[in-house]
Amino acid sequence: GAGVSQSPRYKVAKRGQDVALRCDPISGHVSLFWYQQALGQGPEFLTYFQNEAQLDKSGLPSDRFFAERPEGSVSTLKIQRTQQEDSAVYLCASSFPTNTEAFFGQGTRLTVV
Amino acid sequence: KQEVTQIPAALSVPEGENLVLNCSFTDSAIYNLQWFRQDPGKGLTSLLLIQSSQREQTSGRLNASLDKSSGRSTLYIAASQPGDSATYLCAVTSGTYKYIFGTGTRLKVLA
């Protein structure tokens, strides 16, 4: 597609619920990143994929967070047993190749109630 | 550990003014520096990318400069317009793929 697409745009989850956030990167982009942005803050790195390989997951805040990119294109960020502190905007970005300009999606705003 | 700071945190100017947004980083061994714009409730829009070997980039009314040795970048916006109102974020990569972001400058241009 023309840009990075994320869905859903908004998600309200009850505490304890599992959620799945989807990212469609720009076609052909090798690198895919997930970031978390709390209100009033800059985005913070969560995880990085090169094709289907998850090369860095050091930013994932807990083992409740899991990301995958099984075929090297679409990626899913899953959060299990959501908690209020998970409320944030989750941004996906892609680039080709790594360390060139990154293009960000519109984000998914997750609110845990 | 790389840290990125943006000053000021918020800025309000009348339409037509030229303005400068500042970004500083603690580790000068960066690969790229990128300026983004973020509108409320939206994702990030890339404005300018400066590679470590470059000193500045220009796009329309925007000019970004980079001084690696002093750990600083500035984003200059000429003849500001109400449509420029947004949060401006700077981010660096330091030889890895991770972007380290500042907390942004919230700009409001008054008509």
pLDDT of residue A99: 62
Q: Would the CB atoms of A42 and B97 count as touching at under 8 Å? A: no
Omega before residue B40 within 30° of 0, cis: no
Residue B20: HSE in the Cβ half-sphere, 13 Å Cα cutoff: 6
* Candidates B91, B97, B103; nearest CB to A99: B97
Q: What pLDDT shows up at residue B25? A: 96
**Residue numbers in B near A45 (CB within 8 A):** 98-100
Q: Which residues of B touch A42 (CB under 8 A)?
A: 4, 89, 91, 101-104
Which element (helix H / strand E) includes B6?
strand B4-7
Q: B66 versus A96: which is more confidently predicted?
A: B66
Average pLDDT, chain A: 94
Residues of B in contact with A48 (CB under 8 A): 97-98
Q: A93-97, B10-14, B89-93, B106-110: which range is least confident on average?
A: A93-97
A72 vs A99: which has the higher pLDDT: A72
A:B CB pairs within 8 Å: 60
Query: Could you give phi then psi for residue A101, rounded to 5 degrees?
Result: -55, 130
Give the chain A residue whose CA is nearest to the CA of B88: A42
Task: Provide the residue type at B26 as one letter.
Answer: T
What is the pLDDT, as a whole number, of residue B96? 66
Is B41 an 8 Å CB contact of chain A? yes
